[in-house]
Structure 1
Amino acid sequence: MAATASNDIEPVEADKPLTNAADNLPFVTGARAGMSEDEIALYDRQIRLWGMRAQEKLRSANVLLVTARALGNEVGKNLVLAGIGSLTVADHENVTEEDLGAQFLLATPSVSEVVPSDATPAQRHGADRAAAAAVVGTNRAVAVSQQLSAMNPRVKIAAEQRDVSTQPASYFQQFSLVIVTDRNPAVLNYINTATRLQNQPFYAASSYGFYGFIFADLIEHEFMITRDRGNIVSKPGARETRTRTIVNVQVEGEEGAAGVKESITKREVYSTWYLASDASPLPQSTRSVPRRLRNVTPLLACLRALWNFQENRGGKENFRMPNVNSATDRAEFIGLVSKKQAFLGTPPVAADKIREFLQSVESMREISPVTTVLGGQLAQDVINTIGHTQQPIQNLLIFDGTTMQSSVYAMHPEMSLGTAQLATAPNTTAPESASEATGGTMSAAVGRALAAGTAAEAAAGAPAPIPIAGSPIPLPTPPQASG
């Protein structure tokens, strides 16, 4: 296969993504034409897995990763090693000593600080303390980005030290995909609404001790699978599920001959975080089969109760987690679990499961095996989405680290899905209809926030993004504070 070895980059405007005329799929700012022979050799095994075309799309993608805790570390590592085009790591928090326990991208000594093989235990301990002292108190995005850059110098890495939840919706336009980890429901709702306005794919994920989740809102996403043709003919326009439709079918080989293959393009439609996280019932295919209903993980009701509890603790309480030692918190949380379980129609959640869940989530403990598995699942789904290969998560994955099982549920309201959820909102004259269609995010207050961001917070001494490797990814100027 012919390859272009040039690494020159033509500057383009950050808010005008390039377009690949071959397949009419969006390419990002700074994309280079073709892959060099060195790159093909470097990524040979994964090219064999998902193909050259998917690898080129991955190489051209510009991803935003919000929050660089343990889960973000895993996602960032996997995307960088896979050969993502550029990655912006956004985190406004500083590194603490607690972060060093599970976040492997922190406190790594430089080559000159590596102790010799015959070092004494005291010398090794001193080197560890020196490495920790060098990173504690620094910005988390900067610290993580330095190590990500060392993992794969071909990937452009930038560190964003501002809280992106204070930025206007237009901020997210420069990215081809946005991933938000370990943030509260209000932030997820805001950023998901912003990415919807920019027609950008959105992922959310969090780990809570032994438990975690992944949520995807890809709005309307097409992907292609190639397989041997079976006895049942796939037809364009056929609906496989409520969310999945066959868009196109291409047959390779002569009809009736052995080894005939078909390439099927399918489209999945999605709902917003706001609607999927609380207002949506289980899919009809689950509700209508008692055995399936009984097998729904109790974590679904627990997670919905947790998000509801956090929403009730906004403002001064900063969306805090329930305190397992507080009788008031326990009673409220148990009541919320019961309410969510009744809405879903699933069996009551056992008291010991609620207690285990509360103990796990209270301090947001980071357990490396859990974040490793969850981060790997999320990164692989992002790769599939960017490459338009394989069926993506639809749309909520729940991970139980006590059983090492992942359960996926298509959580959607009884209304139009995909672009219709947001596109119809501005045209309606009934406020309640607009609120329902957008998950309540088009209220006047949130509408102003989407237009201008929380200007006072964003402009108050916010540092500019720091380029870590290669050319910096241009970011919009923070909005000016208004009187």
Structure 2
Amino acid sequence: MIDTIEKEDPVISEEEAAQYDRQIRLWGLDAQKRLRGSRVLLAGLGGLGAEVAKNLILAGVKGLTLLDHEKVSEESCRAQFLVPVTAQGQNRAQASLERAQNLNPMVEVHADSDKVEDKPDDFFLQFDAVCLTGCSRDLMVRVDQLCSQRDIKVFCGDVYGYYGYMFCNLGREHNYVEEKPKVVKPKGNSNDGPEAKKAKIDPNETTMLKKTSSYCSLKEALEVDWTSEKAKAGMKRTPVDYFLLHVLLKFRTDKGRDPDPQAFAEDSQLLKQIRDDVLEALAVRADLLSDEFVSFCFSEMSPVCAVVGGVLGQEVVKALSQRDPPHRNFFFFDARKGNGVVDYFGPN
């Protein structure tokens, strides 16, 4: 039996049925009702956060809380379409509220100007899903471990220049349904020949299959022992972006910020040093990341935010609606290559 996410069975009004008609036709009424009963926390209203907010609001979740203590800067106005150009100096969550709410008045959108690090544990437990952008590694690990104990879905993501990623932890047992073409059993007797005995797929009919997937924690995914035989065997299919993520998260931990275009020369040298330290600590090849990577990880680029935000928002929708196979566990995007890579890091 598919678990329900909502605490109550929400009723879809006629107005909502009309608003979400296309989505209901796409993934069904039950999936839309699960979305309609879900509350989501979105931390970080940069360019990526704005894209995720848009996608969740248009999908029709019950409530979305925008959490951000940062002020609107000139860069925010370039990368983030929810804040007006006249909002510089204002709180980023508050400045995003009006345009976000106007996307879909049926969704309860709230703005919170507190610092996410200052929020107590109980704050995160009131949501069905928590999405963290622009956060430190320590905070993401803390929230992931906390929410996993209460079966709350956790998503993390960031954009660094041409690079972007998302991570999801849907728990040790995430149930969902997948639509598959219906297989028609052959008719006739044994004298009809070998072709008649083969099962055939009917493209006009589908069947819903109930499935379950298991997820590891963010801590497990980031603390892979690369000296183990199992990890070494999987090294070839591990994208270099995974190791780049370690470097960028370490930069954020050490400097309390992301690489700054205004300090390009200084930050480029620091990134190279952190790269050397990280690869040595992980006991992997020192040449995994060439020096050129530093030229492509400064600032949030709007097109990259749109791609990663589209994937991240859709994964939240799939997890809450329990419809269609979700990603396991990372999605990496490199705009220089124009493609994304999905990788799974299972429990050790």
TM interval, shorter chain, is: 0.7 to 0.9
Q: How far off is 1:282 after superposition? A: 11
CA distance in 2, matches of 1:71, 1:156: 20
CA distance in 2, matches of 1:32, 1:138: 38
Corresponding residue SS for 2:125:
helix
Residue equivalent to 2:4: 25
Residue equivalent to 1:307: 249
CA distance in 2, matches of 1:368, 1:164: 24
**Which residue identity does 1:39 align to in structure 2?**
E
Matches within 5 A, 1:320-359: 321=259, 325-326=265-266, 329-336=270-277, 338-339=279-280, 342-343=283-284, 348-349=287-288, 351=290, 354-355=291-292, 357-359=293-295
More deviation, 327-336/210-219: 327-336
- 1:129-167 deviation per Cα after TM superposition (whole angstroms, max 9, x unaligned): xxx33x111111111111111111111111111112212
Q: How far off is 1:267 after superposition? A: 1.5
CA distance in 1, matches of 2:72, 2:174: 36
Do 1:105 and 1:144's aligned partners in 2 also have CA atoms closer than 8 Å?
A: yes
Residue equivalent to 1:205: 157
Q: How far off is 1:86 after superposition? A: 0.8
Corresponding residue SS for 1:198:
coil
Matches within 5 A, 1:97-116: 97-107=74-84
CA distance in 2, matches of 1:403, 1:172: 36
Residue equivalent to 1:408: 342
1:341–1:189 Cα change, 3 Å: closer
Do 1:228 and 1:262's aligned partners in 2 also have CA atoms closer than 8 Å?
A: yes
TM-score normalised over the length of structure 1: 0.62
TM-score normalised over the length of structure 2: 0.84
Do 2:10 and 2:37's aligned partners in 1 also have CA atoms closer than 8 Å?
A: no
Residue equivalent to 1:273: 218
CA distance in 2, matches of 1:38, 1:80: 16
1:77 aligns with 2:77: no
Work out which of the residue numbers 169, 174, 177 in structure 2 matches 1:221: 174
User: Which consecutive residues of structure 1, in runs of 5 or more, have no partner in the other structure?
Assistant: 1-21, 108-131, 233-255, 415-483
Do 1:170 and 1:194's aligned partners in 2 also have CA atoms closer than 8 Å?
A: no
CA distance in 2, matches of 1:166, 1:205: 20
Q: How far off is 1:79 after superposition? A: 0.9
- 1:283-328 deviation per Cα after TM superposition (whole angstroms, max 9, x unaligned): 9999648xxx5464322222223323444x1xxx426549752486
Residue equivalent to 1:144: 96
1:375 aligns with 2:328: no
- 1:165-192 deviation per Cα after TM superposition (whole angstroms, max 9, x unaligned): 2122111111111000111212212221
Do 2:248 and 2:258's aligned partners in 1 also have CA atoms closer than 8 Å?
A: no
**Which residue identity does 2:48 align to in structure 1?**
L
**Which residue identity does 1:265 align to in structure 2?**
K
Do 1:142 and 1:159's aligned partners in 2 also have CA atoms closer than 8 Å?
A: yes
**Which residue identity does 1:306 align to in structure 2?**
L
Do 2:224 and 2:231's aligned partners in 1 also have CA atoms closer than 8 Å?
A: no
The alignment yields a C-alpha RMSD, in angstroms, of 3.0
1:37–1:286 Cα change, 3 Å: farther
Q: How far off is 1:106 after superposition? A: 1.0
CA distance in 2, matches of 1:308, 1:330: 9
Residue equivalent to 1:177: 129
CA distance in 1, matches of 2:288, 2:64: 40
**Which residue identity does 1:226 align to in structure 2?**
E
CA distance in 2, matches of 1:34, 1:331: 54
Residue equivalent to 1:387: 321
Corresponding residue SS for 1:157:
strand
CA distance in 2, matches of 1:283, 1:72: 36
Do 1:169 and 1:195's aligned partners in 2 also have CA atoms closer than 8 Å?
A: no
CA distance in 2, matches of 1:159, 1:96: 18
Do 2:10 and 2:36's aligned partners in 1 also have CA atoms closer than 8 Å?
A: no
Do 2:184 and 2:201's aligned partners in 1 also have CA atoms closer than 8 Å?
A: no
**Which residue identity does 2:276 align to in structure 1?**
G
Residue equivalent to 1:418: none
Residue equivalent to 2:239: 297
CA distance in 2, matches of 1:305, 1:175: 30
Q: How many residue pairs end up in the alignment? A: 329
Q: How far off is 1:274 after superposition? A: 1.8
CA distance in 1, matches of 2:88, 2:21: 38
1:394–1:340 Cα change, 3 Å: farther
1:383–1:324 Cα change, 3 Å: same
Corresponding residue SS for 1:142:
helix
CA distance in 2, matches of 1:101, 1:258: 49
Residue equivalent to 1:443: none
Corresponding residue SS for 1:65:
strand
